[in-house]
Structure 1
Amino acid sequence: MSPLSGEQNVGLRERKKRRTRDALVRAALELFTEQGYERTTVDEIAEAVEVSQRTFFRYFAGKEEAALALQTLAEAHFVEAVRARPPHEPPMEALRRAILEGWDTISDAIEAVVPVELHLRMWRVVESTPVLLAAHLRRAMETEERVTRVIAEREGLDADTDPRPRVAVAVFSGVIRATERQWGADGDFSVPAIRELTARYLDQVGPALAGDWRAP
């Protein structure tokens, strides 16, 4: 066998594994959104893809990991988007642009696995399922720590001794969580809706923190 053939075989195996993993994620999200997280079993997910339970556990530690697989993907894209922002941008501006301008690339990455609409519907399941919401918040905190380190590095600061990177990321993350809770209140769960709401909420950070809210 030539070296090229060996490389092609490795590439073929990796693509097959990726297709299986993506199929399991899609089947899991479809079942979770249709019948609920707690009522869905690993066997049902595996059966929907026509693979064994053993194959499912080859890719995921359990239902929770499958349910939050796209959150992990989206958060990884966001961290890299922050890292790629021009160095002259102030921290809050870099965070703002990373999330607003990153929606398209994040959506493309998600769309390669499942329809974005399914991903957005899954967020409602996460929000209404205590075990998933707790896991989501735990992972979000881990992402906040990674972003804090990126911001500190951009600014030439030590995140362990200078509180500013951590405070900036905490404020930003709080706004994003508020946006997630409010998003879809009017029944519009689309990407443009959450993008517009995110921009509107982030625009209020300065006035909310520095302004006098009391009427004269």
Structure 2
Amino acid sequence: METLRERKKRRTREALLRTALELFTTQGYEHTTVDEIAEAVDVSQRTFFRYFAGKEDVAFAVQEMTEAHFVAAVRARPAHEAPMEALRQAMLEGWDAIRGTVESAVPVELYLRMYRTIESTPALLAAHLLRSAATEETIARLLAEREGVDVDTDLRPRLAVAVFGGVIRVTERQWSTGDDFSLEAIRALTASYLDQVGSALTGHWSAT
């Protein structure tokens, strides 16, 4: 059971996270300081640094939690599933956990606004791409281990993850510019786009 001290620490971290994302999305990431975030929550700068290493750390806190859930879900997939199927099922079947992670941290609407801020802020976009590359490498090595191949000599794990990651990025961008901002909508888009990978890579695109 969570103690009173643990509950207070969790609430402080949640307040810092939500406040930081609100400030980043309303006045801009580069125009927001750690002091402003701390002051808005009525804590000291020192307290902020007990929970986050800096602005970039708090900016990606929710994404980091969802990525950790996804990696764990891939690791838990049955061994008989082919790599792309394992990735697909980890994403789609693990969606409730991912949604719960987002909603426990921030409102979905704020999560979406922060995604747009990341896409439109050069420093954050660069950091996002680096973090995504690191996560993809982790998953590629996990797939290689599942399949009993050497990730450094067999190109398939990294190729599979690159294709999957590309689909997810296209899905996120489409979702963020659409009319339905629910997590159910992005789940449906993800499933639809993954269904089209095979024909997009191997078939003709001309209208019939």
TM-score (norm 2): 0.92
Aligned to 1:5: none
Equivalent runs, 1:52-131 vs 2, <5 Å: 52-131=44-123
CA distance in 2, matches of 1:122, 1:11: 31
**Which is higher, the Rg of structure 1 or of structure 2?**
1
The question of whether the paired residues in 2 share the 8 Å contact of 1:120 and 1:190 is answered with no
The question of whether the paired residues in 2 share the 8 Å contact of 1:121 and 1:189 is answered with no
Amino acid at match of 1:182: Q
Aligned to 1:38: 30
3-state DSSP of counterpart to 1:112: helix
Query: Given the superposition, is the C-alpha separation of residues 185 and 119 from structure 1 closer, same or farther in structure 2, using an over 3 Å criterion?
Result: closer
CA distance in 2, matches of 1:101, 1:120: 21
Counterpart of 2:21 (choices 19, 23, 29) is: 29
The question of whether the paired residues in 1 share the 8 Å contact of 2:116 and 2:176 is answered with no
Between the two proteins, the alignment pairs up a number of residues equal to: 208
CA distance in 2, matches of 1:49, 1:77: 28
Counterpart of 1:155 (choices 147, 154, 159) is: 147
CA-CA distance at 1:214 after TM superposition: 4.3
TM-score (norm 1): 0.89
CA-CA distance at 1:161 after TM superposition: 1.5
What CA deviation, in whole Å up to 9, does each residue of 1:42-66 have, x standing for no partner? 1111012110011112222211111
The question of whether the paired residues in 1 share the 8 Å contact of 2:140 and 2:158 is answered with yes
CA distance in 1, matches of 2:121, 2:24: 10
What CA deviation, in whole Å up to 9, does each residue of 1:116-147 have, x standing for no partner? 22212211111111111111111000000111
CA distance in 2, matches of 1:61, 1:206: 42
CA distance in 2, matches of 1:118, 1:173: 23
Runs of 4+ residues deviating >4 angstroms: none
CA-CA distance at 1:80 after TM superposition: 0.4
What CA deviation, in whole Å up to 9, does each residue of 1:149-186 have, x standing for no partner? 11111111111121111110011111111112222323
CA-CA distance at 1:209 after TM superposition: 1.2
CA RMSD between the two structures: 1.8
CA-CA distance at 1:215 after TM superposition: 5.7
Aligned to 1:137: 129
CA-CA distance at 1:12 after TM superposition: 4.5
